[in-house]
Amino acid sequence: MKKLFKISFGILTLSVINICSVAGYYALNLPDSYYVEKGKQLELSTVFDISASPENETLASFAGETYPTTTAASLKLFGVIPVKDVELHTVETPVLVPGGDPFGIKLLMDGVMVIDTGEIRSQDGMISPADDCGIKKGDIILTIDGEEVSSNSDIQNAVADSGGDSMKVKLIRDGEEIMTSLTPAFSLSDSCYKAGMWVRDSTAGVGTVTFYEPETGRFGGLGHPVCDSDTGEIVPISSGEAVDVRINGVIPGTSGAPGELRGTFISDNSSGVIYFNNKFGVYGEMLKDISSSGAIPMGLKQEVKTGYAEIYTTIDENGPKKYEISIEKINQKNTDTKNMIIRVTDEELLSKTGGIVQGMSGSPIIQDGKLIGAVTHVFVSDPTMGYAIFCENMYESGIAN
């Protein structure tokens, strides 16, 4: 009898430990808040049953509308064992038109970005005025002697006209405003005053539109920020344009060598205005009417599940087309641009591109009739795989706010 009791007690103890381990795993890996479609309850796609028990109501805002429906709730394993407390924000989910069409991106920086520093040959030898005053690669120069600068020529003219006198420079580094004094030196090689730095005032590229919002004409695309090619920093913009692009061909991706869509700007005329460039993509407003035809609901992160999905993307002059993919892994708690790992399974896309290539960033992902996310990155070691972002994150960051 004692032996049977010990066995039963051991089994019970092991079961409790396993249940606690499962609860602990979900406590660490599930988000602290969720958006829930108005009129519905939170449903999680988890291996073990997790349910939400609401507690009280306050206020929340999403997509410009306010509802008295933010609810504190407790997530419970099997409806009994507490996992963690979360916030449930009840919303009317947006209805969006999936993109998949390429667009040209032209951005003018807010200030000018220092992309490198170097020495100049002066009568005092090889010196770098920029290094000497603490200016670093990646800094954003805003003003010189109180005057705003917005182009390479603004910097060149200010330095050339300085006569070698010290100049007050206001710059931004890691979000912090810094003042420093720059004393240009006379270059014996170029017979003019120089600062010993290279700067950039604009950037351009090609990406893919993720969605349009017919009601406002706004759009979101890319799924990740436009970063400077030399510094890797997010480009701060003063203004931006979206322009029409034609895809002329594709360089297929191979292991160790990401492929690339080859596109050209069709004209210099703007097709849209770009307002924001943040870590979730670029956002703006199209200068053309956006039809609501083909609009579908936006899927919330808890609705995304592993398995079959589709992407809309453009790889030739024929425009957007659907291709099959598989969602391999989901990370709901990740607040960056790598919320999902996806694999291209479509034989046609694999044969033409090798999988995901540069320029496809922003290609919308559709699952169960909902717009759930966008392609963001390719795995360099395996171009058939890559990362994707939740559409919820993109929309909240650039359209709702």
Active site residue 361: yes
Catalytic residue among 122, 202, 346, 363: 346
Active site residue 346: yes
Length of the chain: 401
Cα–Cα distance, 370 to 95 (Å, whole number): 9
Cα–Cα distance, 396 to 31 (Å, whole number): 16
- Residue 119 in 3-state DSSP? coil
H-helix or E-strand spanning residue 130: helix 129-132
Count the Cβ atoms, other than its own, within 10 Å of residue 229: 11
What tokens appear for 31 in the block?
A: 């988000």
Active site residue 377: no
Tokens 């083909």, residue?
294
Cα–Cα distance, 314 to 322 (Å, whole number): 9
- Side-chain-side CA neighbours of 315 within 13 Å: the count stands at 23
Cα–Cα distance, 291 to 273 (Å, whole number): 18
Catalytic residue among 101, 361, 363, 377: 361
Cα–Cα distance, 190 to 284 (Å, whole number): 42
Please, which contacts does 156-165 make with residues 24 or more away whose CB atoms are closer than 8 Å? Answer: 159/184, 159/193, 159/194, 159/195, 160/192, 160/193, 162/193, 163/193, 164/193
Residue 3: CB partners within 8 Å, gap ≥ 6?
none
Cα–Cα distance, 108 to 112 (Å, whole number): 9
Catalytic residue among 224, 228, 363, 377: 224
Nearest CA-CA partner of 242 in 261, 262, 223, 218: 218
Nearest CA-CA partner of 94 in 141, 35, 145, 48: 35
Residues recognised as catalytic: 224, 346, 361
